[in-house]
Amino acid sequence: MVAVKSGIKTAHLEAGLRSFDRTMPEEINRLITDSIADILWTPSLDGNENLKKEGIPESKIKFVGNIMIDSLEMTRGKIESKSIYKKFDRSKGQYGLVTLHRPSNVDNPEILENLCKKIADISKKIPLIFPIHPRTLANLNKYNLNKILEDKTSIHLSTPLGYIDFMNLVFNSKFAITDSGGIQEETTYLGIPCLTLRPNTERPITITQGTNRLCTPEEIPELTDKILSGQFPKGTIPKFWDGKTASRIVDNIQTLSM
């Protein structure tokens, strides 16, 4: 808003993403930013359609691809050089990765307890690694739910990890259970099944094309069984999720500057 009011040309990278859920603070930020930005760089073609439906001129919209895949490819060598999963006494491709942090999942004690029990049940079928977000840890302690997870030797609880170490766990996992936005994209790119504990996603292409599925806690056991039995749907990598998004952005900036 400051840049626009100051007459500075403003671009929004990852424009056009929509969950259509205005209870999410980031959804409001997206709507406001897209409505005032001069240049809108979208990560997938559904973003273009969202913006056009909102009355944004096509001249402002440029499909460039997913910048998060650039980050992944830039650090791939460092990611693949590690074996972080071994520190958790896990084997490559033989564990599930869990992350939970959204208020809708971790702030309500009944919902959080149900999720903990479902995760504990899944750990009877395959070992899990669960790096715990500070918000989630605080609520586990507050509601005295940590024992549901701590008493299971098949669940390895961890403090939050940096990007390189965490992505090494993603690379080598059998599947992910999450409520994160980014992991939906990274698992789609890597062809790893992802179960997203949300009623909606601002990245629907990870469902229509990728390996992501929205689900409720009650649906996790059945979906996990499908993954473990090899019956989970295979996905494809969306267009321009190729590690070259930054180059397309530079090309676009140079075109605009001419």
Helix (H) or strand (E) holding 20: none
* Beta-strand runs (E) in 3-160: 11-13, 39-42, 61-63, 96-98, 128-131, 155-158
State yes or no: is 156 an active-site residue. no
- Sign of the CA dihedral with 163 first, then 45, 244, and 27 last: negative
Measure CA 114 to chain center. 22
- β-partners of residue 158 are 131
Looking up tokens 């997870």, which residue turns up?
Answer: 149
Catalytic residue among 12, 101, 133, 156: 101
Joined tokens for residue 167? 């992505």
For residues 161 and 131, the answer to whether their CB atoms sit within 8 Å is yes
DSSP secondary structure letter of residue 218: G
Active-site residues: which are they?
101
